[in-house]
Structure 1
Amino acid sequence: MTADSIFSWTPAAVVFDCDGTLMDTERHWQDARDMVLQSYGFTPSAAFAEKAKGLHYTECGRLMADVAGRPDLTEGMTESLLECFRDLVAADPTTMPGAPELVHSAVQFAPLAVASNCPLEVVESCLGMAGLRECFSHIVVPDATTRPKPHPDVYLTAAELCGVEPADTLAVEDSHCGIQAAAGAGMRVLGVGPRPSDEETALADWWVPSLEEPAVQGWAGARIPAQSAGPARPEGRTP
């Protein structure tokens, strides 16, 4: 890990993950997975929860059906998972500690984007409820031509839409799946979370337990132009 590669650098763009990075929604995904599996009479293990973290919801639905030994339930579990997750988020939309402050600082010196494995409408809704949507020029999610994380596609597309090279872009991520995607895209990676694995530590350039860390907030604040007029307006949005 080489924290100085970020700490002494100003990125040309910053791309954030959403679940677990901007929004405190990873717990909602876990609760939704547990609720759906239990509704089918299955009890998920701790190992399952770790394996499912960060996966695209369709891949998660397939994994759930495989764990239950019922691949025929994939479609039903996937639909139930997304419906349950949306209900949980709507009831308790909460940002991760330090995330709003970092976003509002970063948008004053670089274009921002979100690269997420969630459906577009879920990301839009979460960011809207958090009052952060206007800070992001683009939201990139998997589609017919863009593969989900851990493939690098969503990050490569985000950099392209922001008009910068991946090597000049900072990715902010909390999951193993997402860090693999960002590193695979050739970006520098700020990892966030309490207990990084050895592989996550090796892939991330800088790891912090929370975006509230004074070093992170100080790094972003030091890059705000002295005469900044405030948050930049977004240039567009990904359809």
Structure 2
Amino acid sequence: MSIQAVVFDLDGVIIDSEEVWEEVRRGYVASFDRSFRPDSQDRMMGMNTQEWSTHLAEEVGVPRTPAQVADDVLSRMAARYRDDLPLIPGSVESVRRIAARFPVALASSSARLLIDQVLAGAGLTSVFQVTLSTEEVARGKPYPDVYLAAAEKLGLAPVDCAAVEDSSNGLRSAGAAGLAVVAVPHGVYPPAPDALALAGLVVSDLRELTVEAIDRLR
């Protein structure tokens, strides 16, 4: 048994956007004189668009419908990316290096419009054979849905794939789906110990992720 494909997360792995998401969401919530709940940031990392917009509307108390919240926040995120696309140093080159050996897919909690915008800006649109947003499956991370769907679209069993993730919910999602797990812990939002324990390989950034290391995962 060996790894036959690699599935990348986007936020926190290829693009350093977690702080941007937090800043945009906090600013949006504050504009309605509301505040994050103590667990809002951790919970929203991995949620799909419907899930986090519902959280902000119904639990945080933003006086807009979830659909309106999603449109508002996504438009702000898209504007930020147009101004400055915060690619993680070395991530684009690393994805291309891995893609020269393995089919690669993307399984992201970002909305489709942001995925397409980021990949176009990074010059990676044609590199990925499959791209999926959690808004295109039933449940977001930590549920396994998006990784199961990515493996299916690649024509492979989950056990034949490796996932590259940074967040607690992302690691849990990949582990629950049965993929081999590579962790790239984010310095500001490190994964919980139980989630990190799911990883067969931990690297500090994608530049350390080699083809040989992936081959050794199984």
* Range into which the TM-score falls when normalised by the shorter chain: 0.7 to 0.9
Structure 2 partner of 1:161: 153
Structure 1 partner of 2:198: 203
The one of 27, 36, 53 aligned to 1:35: 27
Structure 1 partner of 2:133: 141
Shift of 1:104: 1.2
Shift of 1:223: 7.9
Q: 1:102·1:220 contact (CA, 8 Å) conserved in 2?
A: no
Distance in 1 of aligned mates of 2:163 and 2:89? 17
Amino acid in the other structure paired with 1:37: V
Distance in 2 of aligned mates of 1:59 and 1:103? 29
Distance in 2 of aligned mates of 1:145 and 1:159? 13
Distance in 2 of aligned mates of 1:134 and 1:73? 35
Structure 2 partner of 1:235: none
Q: Could you give the per-residue CA deviations for residues 35-65 of structure 1, whole angstroms, max 9, x where no partner exists? A: 1101111233664322222221221122222
Computed over aligned residues only, the root mean square deviation of the Cα atoms, in angstroms, reads: 2.4
- Is the radius of gyration larger for structure 1 or structure 2? 1
Amino acid in the other structure paired with 2:157: E
**SS of the counterpart of 1:189?**
strand
TM-score by length of structure 2 reads 0.86
Distance in 1 of aligned mates of 2:166 and 2:183? 6
Unaligned stretches of 5+ residues in structure 1: 1-8, 225-239
Question: Is 2:183 aligned against 1:191?
Answer: yes
Shift of 1:118: 1.9
Quickly say closer, same or farther: Cα 1:129–1:72, change in 2 above 3 A.
Answer: closer
Structure 2 partner of 1:25: 17
Distance in 2 of aligned mates of 1:144 and 1:184? 18
Amino acid in the other structure paired with 1:31: E
Distance in 2 of aligned mates of 1:151 and 1:196? 16
**SS of the counterpart of 1:23?**
coil
Q: 2:169·2:195 contact (CA, 8 Å) conserved in 1?
A: no
Quickly say closer, same or farther: Cα 1:144–1:131, change in 2 above 3 A.
Answer: closer
Aligned length: 212
The one of 53, 78, 83 aligned to 2:70: 78
Unaligned stretches of 5+ residues in structure 2: none
**SS of the counterpart of 1:139?**
strand
Amino acid in the other structure paired with 2:193: D
Q: 2:116·2:125 contact (CA, 8 Å) conserved in 1?
A: yes
Question: Is 2:99 aligned against 1:107?
Answer: yes
Q: Could you give the per-residue CA deviations for residues 148-203 of structure 1, whole angstroms, max 9, x where no partner exists? A: 22221211121122222211111001111211111111001111123331111222
- How many percent of aligned residue pairs carry the same amino acid? 31
Distance in 2 of aligned mates of 1:81 and 1:161? 29
**SS of the counterpart of 1:203?**
coil
**SS of the counterpart of 1:21?**
coil
Amino acid in the other structure paired with 1:167: V
